[in-house]
Structure 1
Amino acid sequence: MDALVAAGASKVYAGARTPSSVKNSHAVPIELDITNIAQVEAAASTCRDVTLLINNAGILMNSPMLVENSPSAMRKEFDVNVFGTLNMISAFTNPCRQWRPGDREHVIDHELDHLAVYRHV
């Protein structure tokens, strides 16, 4: 997030399932679980000034395909990595929002559980 501010971001939102886990002083914490559509829509509504979306939410269950809990593990991975990501893209690229070409960016990093979005002015 410091790099975003250094690059000229006037505001950085950091979404996390537990907003108090966001420790960066440059960030505006928001509650966000990308598999919870109500939270995704609330984040998009709250963060209406976003012009760049960086999605770091991801999960890797590292479960073998043919074991007892594999369907559950795969479902959880798809809920976060595919459908959650689709929720974010859909909410933040709503046709009613004012975007300029090239404003959207989507990055997945399975090491982090935060979403950072910013507006460069």
Structure 2
Amino acid sequence: MKNLKTIITVVAISLSTVFSATAVEKNPLKKEKTIRTEIVSLLGDNIPFQINHSCRAEISFIINNNNEVVVLNVDSKIAKFESFVKRKLNYKKLSLKNIKKGEVYRIPVKLNAA
């Protein structure tokens, strides 16, 4: 009987440490959507050049200690879009709180032809 109590105690402690180690932040998708919303609002609706066909792009950026966006890469077939994004986003402050600093964020963007 004493061995059974010891085994149950060891299993309970093991399970509690496993579950506490795998705890994840509540609703990380909500944070991603708020960052995306703010980035899209900083970019705006109008781009200063003509697009002949719809295409996709991906913006990779980090947020520094001052809550500023630092654009790392813009993966797009349109060269003008990269300079446009960097001009609009680099070192712009975000008003969001509790953002992980130094984490690389990737946001897909769809460019529609006018």
TM-score normalised by structure 2 residue count: 0.30
Give the structure with higher Rg (CA). Answer: 2
Greater relative CO (CA pairs within 8 A, separation 6+):
1
